[in-house]
Amino acid sequence: MSDYNPNNILVTGGAGFIGCNYVRYMLETDANVHIINLDALTYAGSLENLKDLPDENRHTFVQGDISDRALIDKLMRQYEIDTVVHFAAESHVDNSISGPEIFVKTNVMGTFTLLDAARQYWFAEKKWGKEDCRFHHISTDEVYGTLEATDPAFSETTPYAPNSPYSASKAGSDHLVRAYFHTYGLPVTTTNCSNNYGSYQHGEKFIPTVIRKCLEQEAIPVYGDGTNIRDWLYVTDHCSGIDAVVRKGELGEVYNIGGINEWKNIDICRLICKLMDELHPIAPQKVNGEAREATLGYEKLITFVTDRPGHDWRYAIDATKMNDKLNWQPAETFETGIRKTVAWYLENQSDRLSNG
């Protein structure tokens, strides 16, 4: 089968962290696409993330809810959508523990609404074949549960074992996508990604929190003993991986996109503190009228806090299928990606590190 080339892409959640990076990536790399960007602009999405786009003439923003079927139907027809790239999701695990209902509504029912609207428009109205359209669903490695130190990394055949309301809701949406392929023949692909980091990430997340706490010289909270392990994926690498799957992926298949970068949380904190010492050192303090350099850097701020309920210990992604089938691999190591990330936040700290 020849490569699929999208034209009019409905990007859901395109004002959020990964979504806005994908919008930028596509506008930069494909001069033929028009992006219709649907975002509810909850706390995690912001129009600030969409300033200074590469080609604003090929970007249309619409504020709205993915569960609003009438709106989805209207957008599909108005812009002749041939491709859906579905990022929109409630995604913060702590929030899913304190308020799980919105996670089920957005992640499960919202995905169902998009799938059914696409099926109606593409098949019943446009009479398109599977070669004419594409529905790509972005999921997470958290649907696979947790790993012990010696367990092999998650592969596309790892059984689902979600441990939080967030991951359970994402698992439910994954199963709906699979069902729409097998039941209706909807041309779908799915990617499960590891932890993303990079520019435009919301201040509540782990890496922006560490940077913010350094700047504020406040305690840097680290859950438990800091030995929880995550596989970190630079957001631009994630975007290139999604594009590869949309264009070249086999319909109905799942692809795991990972950064091949397993790090303990405590080691990430220490690396960020070291970079902050280099790029934004603590100002000298006056002692007896004389300026003295700080003898201790930002690492002194690291503080261990009570672990959260159901905290998965380790995630790791086996991205072999992406490499073997689609010739994709991440361009950034964690060391190169985190340096770019810290530098970006330092340049944009006034309005990018708020936790509100």
Question: Lowest-confidence range among 47-56, 62-71, 98-107, 268-277?
Answer: 98-107
**How many separate domains does the chain show?**
1
Say if 221 falls within a structural domain: no
8 A C-beta contact, residue 128 and residue 115: no
Q: Residue 143: what pLDDT?
A: 95
- Which is it for strands 285-287 and 83-86: parallel, antiparallel or unpaired? unpaired
As a whole number of angstroms, the distance between CA 331 and CA 324 comes to 16
The catalytic residue among 39, 65, 90, 141 is: 141
Q: Residue 352: what pLDDT?
A: 53
- Which is it for strands 188-193 and 220-223: parallel, antiparallel or unpaired? unpaired
User: Residue 184 catalytic?
Assistant: no
- The top-scoring range by mean pLDDT among 187-196, 278-287, 302-311 is 187-196
272-305 residue pLDDT tens? 999 999 999 988 765 445 555 555 799 999 999 9
List the alpha helices (DSSP H) in 30-164: 69-78, 93-98, 101-103, 110-119
Say if 220 falls within a structural domain: no
The catalytic residue among 142, 231, 237, 262 is: 142
The answer, yes or no, to whether residue 2 has pLDDT greater than 70, is yes
Q: Residue 43: what pLDDT?
A: 78
As a whole number of angstroms, the distance between CA 146 and CA 244 comes to 27
User: Residue 174 catalytic?
Assistant: no
8 A C-beta contact, residue 139 and residue 170: yes
228 token code pair: 């929880």
176 token code pair: 């709906």
As a whole number of angstroms, the distance between CA 251 and CA 254 comes to 9
Say if 113 falls within a structural domain: yes
Tell me the average pLDDT across 81-108: 85
Say if 183 falls within a structural domain: yes
As a whole number of angstroms, the distance between CA 19 and CA 70 comes to 23
Tell me the average pLDDT across 245-270: 95
Which residue is associated with the tokens 């209706």?
184
Q: Residue 294: what pLDDT?
A: 55
For residue 19, the enclosing domain spans: 8-201+232-260+314-333
**To the nearest whole number, what is the mean pLDDT of the chain?**
91
- Spatial CA neighbour of 80 closest among 22, 7, 31: 7
Q: Residue 287: what pLDDT?
A: 46
Tell me the average pLDDT across 170-191: 98
User: Residue 82 catalytic?
Assistant: no
SS3 of 290-340:
EEECCCCCHHHHEEEECCCCCCCCECCECCHHHHHHHCCCCCCCHHHHHHH
Tell me the average pLDDT across 213-241: 94
51 token code pair: 């300033």
The answer, yes or no, to whether residue 147 has pLDDT greater than 80, is yes
Say if 284 falls within a structural domain: no
Say if 356 falls within a structural domain: no
Tell me the average pLDDT across 44-66: 94
Tell me the average pLDDT across 316-324: 95
As a whole number of angstroms, the distance between CA 305 and CA 292 comes to 31
SS3 of 203-252:
CCCHHHHHHHHHHHCCCEEEECCCCCEEEEEEHHHHHHHHHHHHHHCCCC
The catalytic residue among 22, 25, 144, 166 is: 166
Q: Which residue has the higher pLDDT, 248 or 100?
A: 248
Which CATH number goes with the domain that contains 178? 3.40.50.720
Say if 36 falls within a structural domain: yes
